[in-house]
A and B are shown apart, each in its own frame.
Chain A
Amino acid sequence: MRRKGMLLFFALVLLWVLAACGQQTGSKGEPGQGGTAAPTGGTLIFGRGADSTALDPINVTDGESLIVTDNIFNTLVDYKPDSTEVVPSLAKEWKSSEDGLTWTFSLQEGVKFHDGTDFDAEAVVYNFNRWMDPNHPQHKGDFGYYAYMFGGFKGDPGHVIKEVVAKDKYTVEFHLNFPQAPFLNNLAMSPFGIASPAAIEKYGEKFGDHPVGTGPFKFVEWKKGDSITLEKNPDYWKKGLPKLDKVVFRSIPDNSNRFTALKNGEIDLMDGLNPEDVPSVKSNDKLQLFLRPSMNVAYLAFNTKVKPLDDKRVRQALNMTVNKKEIIDSFFAGLAEPAKNPMPPSLWGYNDQVEDYPVDLEKAKSLLAEAGYPNGFETDLWYMTEPRPYMPNGQKVAEVLQADFAKIGVKVNLVTYDWSTYLDKTGNGEHPMALMGWTGDNGDPDNFLYVLLDKDNTRTPDAGNIAFYVNDALHDLLIRAQRSTNQEERIQLYMEAQKIIHEDAPWIPLVHTTPPIAGIKEIKGYIPHPTGTESFENVSIEK
């Protein structure tokens, strides 16, 4: 009997020791390096929902991979920390020829890759040749974003870049097949991070496990499914940066568990905060809340090929029944702004003079009567079941719209499919009206207006314009804006385009969501970027 008691006693003591030693090692919420007095930058642990797929930026398309690579690689040009305006990065300045066919970039001098090799014009040429030429020995993989942003690969009819040449050690010239207005904005996207040619040659297809760039942090280790560790690049070319010693990207799939880990001091910053947890962040004096500026839009698309939605008056009438503010308060926990244009206000060229349709049931009814439907009509409204960044709960929003439409006698039946079927069917135009949304890629208005509402994109089976809205005047504006390299002119063209779209009402633009992010109070200098991908070079932890 005594030995048995001893065993139990021993086990309990062991548990107690474990618990106690945990409190000593300071895992309970000491941000940075627990206990060290030296003024080091500390470690930032970023909690997110999923692991990366690979760390070769050109070969991935998921945000979880790109947010890591953005800290390892620099692009030729970059976005401003809080908007999609283009600023210098590895290219310190650039100019384009009159016809927009030749772009010349002068590069930063004396920059080194993490493996010690030099960054120069040849390295830029190497990277672009690898991406665009399917015959390049290191063109291994999908290179999806390259093809998507630059019209395919070398030899494809729509391919934008003819060739990239090194004029001298620090000057590189791009020759285009035809002008592309969003060219600079595209170059600033994270997938086009410049990698060390020596490392690509060395690791080949395994480069995605051994990423080498010129960025603020160097890759250290990847524990698959768990965490990715980066450490400070002491020779970073931007003086005094980065401020942190280390960044750890940890994946914790469940939003609530991630929030517990944040409150517990195991992580310092987290994305994917549940909207219902926002009040508890606000009331916790150890935490702070960040809102990512919106670069998305959620909308209801009317299929303008289907009766009676082919009548502009009917679409306008339906626009006049929806109280967006109420939807935001009820289903977005207030973390969104009402949309009146098809693109978010964080984009340049946004037309703030457009006035949203006011809620006006009388006017709506008379418009319906004018169109020949004094007693309303019956149709289907499609919604998605899967939560999307721009639409956390499609069903609830659909129910509210159903109730709103009923007020003017329009009866809608709710219809849904699983997400990939939904995309197939809406892309094929089988819906009368459907909820949908879009997150921007490169911060260019073209990426919203042309992709979502131009007649070029009504081609089935995978139409981007699921309103099947065709307006030749709009098409002319959008194409002119695509070909122009004059920013002022482009702004004017997009302003005009938004007016036309508002008048024709192919959609009810619903909301632009601003995803919430929570972090410990000590984090300074963190600015969430609209694209969802940002570098932590300016971030510090100050106690």
Chain B
Amino acid sequence: MSARYSWGGDEFVFVELAEDMSLQANFKAVAITNLLRSERPDGILEICPANASYQVRYDPDVLDPHALMAQLTELETRVGDALGVTLDCRVVEIPVLYQDPWTTETLMRFRDRHQDPEATDIEYAARINGYAGVDEFIAAHSGSPWFTSMVGFVAGLPFKYQMVPRDRQIVVPKYLRPRTDTPKQTVGYGGCFSCIYSVRGAGGYQMFGITPAPIYDPTQSKPDFTEHMVFMRPGDMVKFRGIDRDEYDQLHAAAEAGEYRITARPVAFDLQPFLDDPDGYNKRLLEVLA
């Protein structure tokens, strides 16, 4: 399918690369926006890759909108099917206390907005995805890496796409009506995306657990944030690791003291070999964390 282009008022071009979500559509978005960033014409204000789409904000007093549109369609042609694209990525380990007391307390407060008021979010997700129970579900959620396909919604919040064939992907609806509260660093889930809430606030994703790892630090006082206040970048492949309450308390205390560092290793990621053998590829990928 070729991309669909649309004006967003007089300052934005919006490009939908595919209607449905796939790693390939995301790779196209990343590849096109990377090229645009390297060939950046004057007047570009923002370049925002997303899951299966991207947008560009420009100043029409500096850059002719039609010239920009022509450049974007040319980049689309050049990137093609994106199957040969290699990205410089990181493999990142995020510890998770599943079924933690804080998100459990929060979800109990909002049962009237949920599909299944009798169950917790994770019990509901396990059931509708055909898992025998919560433990089996957690094993699936933490068993394979997740590709960061978009950062946004609020400052530093990563959307993560599960790196398994589509028939094995977890799919969960969002809350019937969004909550007005979500604890900071909640590991959430909506549609086919896992996320980590970077700040406390409203949210519509199901809540499965919480990580002690800070991913957003506007004061830039913590060690992972000396270069930037946002930790997660598109292309980060996240491996969730289930932890118990003792380890959570220990890591949380270290994070509070400014002593916690997220484990992250650089890797190159190739789309075609991954699509040919996802399980084998993931296994090799995760060896860098060992």
Q: Do A and B bind each other?
A: no
Residues of B within 8 A of A (CB): none
Residues of A within 8 A of B (CB): none
